[in-house]
Amino acid sequence: MKKLDYVNALMGTHNTSDFSHGNILPLLALPHALASWTIMTNSSHGNFFYDPTANTFEGIRLTHQPSPWIGDYGHFLVMPQTGNLNIAPHMRKSSFNKQTFRFTPTELYIEEFKDNCDICLSPSPTGGIFKFTFKNEGKNRINFIGLDGKTQFVYNKALQNITGYTTGVTHHCPYELKEYIYAKISCECEEETTENCLSLIVKDKEVTVKIATSFIGYEQAEINFNRELNLNTINDLKVQAENIWEKELSKINIESDEKTMKTFYSCLYRALLFPRKFYETDKSGKNLHINIETGEIKEGVMYVDNGFWDTYRTVYPLLSIIDPKLYAEMAESFYNIYEDTGWLPRWISPNEIGLMPGTLVEPVLADAIVKDIVSPELAEKFLDAMIHNAEDDSPEPKYGRKKVSVYRKLGYLPNNLVHESVNETLDCCYGDFCIGASAAKLGKIGLAEKYMNYAKNYAKIFDKKSGLMRSMDDKGQRSDDFIPHSWGGEYTEGSAWQNSFAVPHDMKGLNELYNGKLEDKIDELFNTPPIFTVGWYGFEIHEMSELAAQRNFGQCAISNQPSFPIPYIYSEIGNVKKTSYWVNRLITEAFDSTIDGFPGDEDNGTMASWYIFGCLGFYPFCPGRADFTTTLPIVKKAEITLPDGKKLIVEKDKFKVEKMNNHVSYKDIMNGGSLWDKVKK
C-alpha cells in the first residue's frame, strides 16, 4: 500500500472560531508550493469558509491562507455554472455527491449537482489543471470570481488565454499585493463580465483549463505556465504529484496499527505544506522574490506563511533530519528578509504580521548553525542579525523584541510596560541562549558567555511561593492576587500552568529553583484538573475550551504549543519512563486521522510534527542544541531515510525504558543505524 493512500487531507478540518480540531484547510498542493487549492463551502463564515460536513459548496478556491487567524491573500474562485450569470454566493452554490467526492493531496473530484458538471483538478507548483465535464445543454460557463480587493481577468479569444491579476487580501498589507495569472482554455468561448468576475461561455461539453500564477508579474506567470502546464495533461499532473508526495512521505517508513498509520502519514503531509515557497525562477534561472514590506522585486530565495512562535518547536527540527538542504534554503530566505527590511521575521504571510511574543526565529537559525546545516559564512550573518534583533529598539512594534533597553536593565520585562510579560521574558531568555549557542559554535567564546548569562534571567521571575513564573512591575513588585489557572495578561494563550516551564535550554537550572523537585511540580500539573478562569481575556477563548475538552491530561493543554514540551520535561531531567507514559497517552488518545483529528490548532505543521516525533521516540526539546530528548517509540518499526542514503532504524521491541539514556545527538541520528544502539546505556 502506498504511503499516500494513508493520507486523509481532511484531517483536522472540522472547525469553528469557538473550537479547533486543527483550524486548517484541506489543501490540494505540492510540498511547500506557491499555490494551493481548496473548497469554499460558505463565504459568510469569513476565514472559516470550509466545513467538511457541508452539503453545498460555492467554488474551488486558490488560497494561500496559513491560518484562519491570519487570513488569505492572492485568492479567487473557479466555479462552473449553467444559465444566466449570477455570482452571488447563494446563487452560485451547489450541492454535490458526497459519496463520490475525492480530496487528496494530488486530486480533487466533485460531481456538482445544480449545474450537472463534474470537476477534476490536480496541482502544479504555481497552479493546476481543471477538467470540467458538463452534462447539460444551454449556457455552460466557467466563472473566475474575485473575492476581496480588485480582480481584473482578461480573455483573449484569438489565443484562448486568460491574463490578469487579483489584489485580494484579507489582512493588512503595506503595499498592493498582486497575484498574476496566465491561463489557457481548451475550447472557443464567448465572454461575459461583471464586476470582479470573468465568465466564459464554453462551446464544448468537456473543457480543460490550465492556470499558472505568479506574484512577480505577467511575464513570470507565463514562464511558470510553460514550465509546469503547457505540455501536460491533468493526468500528467496527478501522476507527477503522486510521485512527489510518495517520495516525500516515504522518507519515513513505519509499521504500526491502522489508526497510527493513517494518522502518521496524514500528519507528515501536513508537516510538508508550510512554510510556502515564495520565490520564482525567471527564464535565465535567477531566483526572484518580493520584498515583503515594499513589494519591490529582489533577487534570492524566500519562504513565507510561517509563525516562528509555533514552527520553531518541531517543523524545522523535522526538516533538519529529512531535508536539511531545504532547511538551509529556508534559513537563508529568513536572512533575506532581514536584508530587505532590516529585521528578522516573526510571523510572515507574506508581509510581516507581527503576532505572538518573542522573536523566535532565533532557534530556527541557531539550530541550523549548531547542526552544521548552513555554511560558517552564512552562520556569521545569522548571528549578527540575531544580535540586532535582540539589542536594538525597533521603530515598529511588529519587529524586534519588546522594550529592549528595559529588558537589558532589569533582566525581565515588567507587566506594567509589556503585555504577556512572562512569555516575553522567557522567550528573550531562550533567544539569548540561541545567540550564545551560535556564538559558541563560531568560536566567539566571550560573546557566548555573555548571552548564556543573559539566558539565566528566567530565574528573576520565578516565584518560590507558587512554584510558577510570575510577572513583576518595573519596581520588582508582584500583585497579591494570583490564580494559577487564570488565563492571559502576563501569559500567552494560557495560564501559569502552561507557560511557567518554557526554559528548554536550562532544565537543570530550573530544577534547582525547585530544590530538585521539578518532577513533583510536573506531576502536580498533570494531576490538576483542566479548570480555568477567563482572566484577562474576559470570555472563554477556544484554547480554554480545548483544554477543558481533553479531560485526561490535567493542565497539559496539548491543544496549544506551550504544552508541547511539558511531557518531555520528565525525560529531560532523567525520568524517561514518565515521559513515555504521557506521550503514549497523548498520541493514542488525543489524535486520529478524522476531520476532528487534532486536539487544537495545528499551526503550519507544528502539531503534526509533534505527533511524528512522539511516534518515533525522540523529540527536539531545545532547538539550538544539537540533540533530542528520548522516549519510547509508539510505532512498531520505523525506517528514516537520511539525505546521504543512510537509514535510521527504530525498532520498538528493542527499547527498554530502564536502560535508556535521555538524550541522543543529532550527529548520531544522522549517522544512521539502530536508534536503540545510540540511546542504550
390-402 burial, b at 16+ Cβ within 10 Å, e below that, comes to beeebeeeebbbb
Burial class (CB in 10 A: 0-12, 13-18, 19+), 516: exposed
User: 465: pLDDT confidence band, cut at 50, 70 and 90?
Assistant: very high
CA dist 588 and 618 (Å) reads: 16
Cis bond upstream, residue 504 (ω within 30): no
Tell me the residue type at 310.
D
Give the percent of the chain with pLDDT over 70. Answer: 100
Q: What is the pLDDT of residue 216?
A: 97
Beta strands per DSSP E along 406-533:
462-463, 468-469
Helix/strand/coil for 103: strand
Which letter does DSSP use for residue 412 in this model? Answer: S
Tell me the residue type at 84.
N
Per the CB < 8 A criterion, the answer to whether 359 and 401 are in contact is: yes
Burial class (CB in 10 A: 0-12, 13-18, 19+), 640: buried
Question: How much is the average pLDDT of 337-348?
Answer: 97
Question: How much is the average pLDDT of 185-197?
Answer: 94
Residue 574: how many other CB atoms lie within 10 Å: 14
- When the pLDDT of each residue in the chain is averaged and rounded to a whole number, the result is 97
User: 67: pLDDT confidence band, cut at 50, 70 and 90?
Assistant: very high
Which letter does DSSP use for residue 652 in this model? Answer: G
| pLDDT tens readout for residues 357-377 | 999 999 999 999 999 999 999
C-alpha separations of 314 from 94, 205, 473, 591, 614 in Å: 40, 48, 33, 17, 11
CA dist 204 and 233 (Å) reads: 17
Q: What is the pLDDT of residue 354?
A: 94
The three-state DSSP-derived secondary structure of 170-223 is CCCCCCCCCEEEEEEECCCEEEEEECCEEEEEECCCEEEEEEEEECCCHHHHHH
CA dihedral over 650, 367, 312, 422, signed as positive or negative: positive
Q: What is the pLDDT of residue 2?
A: 96
Beta strands per DSSP E along 459-584:
462-463, 468-469
Q: Which of 240, 261, 316 is nearest to 8 (CA)?
A: 261
Q: What is the pLDDT of residue 665?
A: 98
Q: What is the pLDDT of residue 206?
A: 97
CA dihedral over 60, 65, 67, 71, signed as positive or negative: negative
Tell me the residue type at 561.
Q
pTM for the model stands at: 0.97
Q: What is the pLDDT of residue 649?
A: 98
The residue length of the chain stands at: 681
Q: Which of 379, 404, 384 is nearest to 394 (CA)?
A: 404
Virtual torsion, Cα 521, 523, 524, 528, nearest 10 deg:
150
Per the CB < 8 A criterion, the answer to whether 630 and 661 are in contact is: yes
CA dihedral over 531, 535, 538, 541, signed as positive or negative: negative
Question: How much is the average pLDDT of 541-559?
Answer: 96
Q: What is the pLDDT of residue 315?
A: 98
Residue whose cell numbers read 516573526: 346
Q: What is the pLDDT of residue 573?
A: 97
Helices (H), 531-663: 542-549, 566-572, 576-590, 606-616
Per the CB < 8 A criterion, the answer to whether 546 and 559 are in contact is: yes
CA dist 5 and 246 (Å) reads: 9
Cis bond upstream, residue 31 (ω within 30): no
| pLDDT tens readout for residues 596-652 | 999 999 999 999 999 999 999 999 999 999 999 999 999 999 999 999 999 999 999
CA angle 270, 273, 274 (to 5 degrees): 110
Strand partners, 469: 462
Q: What is the pLDDT of residue 544?
A: 97
Q: What is the pLDDT of residue 482?
A: 95
Per the CB < 8 A criterion, the answer to whether 134 and 34 are in contact is: no
Q: What is the pLDDT of residue 626?
A: 98
CA dihedral over 615, 666, 435, 515, signed as positive or negative: positive
Question: How much is the average pLDDT of 34-57?
Answer: 97
Question: How much is the average pLDDT of 341-367?
Answer: 96
Residue 277: how many other CB atoms lie within 10 Å: 24
CA angle 419, 388, 507 (to 5 degrees): 60
User: 161: pLDDT confidence band, cut at 50, 70 and 90?
Assistant: very high
| pLDDT tens readout for residues 258-287 | 999 999 999 999 999 999 999 999 999 999
Q: Which of 321, 326, 365, 128 is nearest to 225 (CA)?
A: 128
Residue whose cell numbers read 550573518: 381
Residue whose cell numbers read 466533485: 110
Per the CB < 8 A criterion, the answer to whether 568 and 556 are in contact is: no
Per the CB < 8 A criterion, the answer to whether 305 and 274 are in contact is: yes
| Helix/strand/coil percent split, the chain, to 5 | 35, 20, 45
User: 528: pLDDT confidence band, cut at 50, 70 and 90?
Assistant: very high
Return the CA Rg of the chain. 25
| pLDDT tens readout for residues 560-572 | 999 999 999 999 9
Continuous segment of H or E residues that includes residue 576: helix 576-590
Residue 220: how many other CB atoms lie within 10 Å: 22
User: 105: pLDDT confidence band, cut at 50, 70 and 90?
Assistant: very high
- Quick one: cell of 342? 532590516
Question: How much is the average pLDDT of 394-417?
Answer: 95
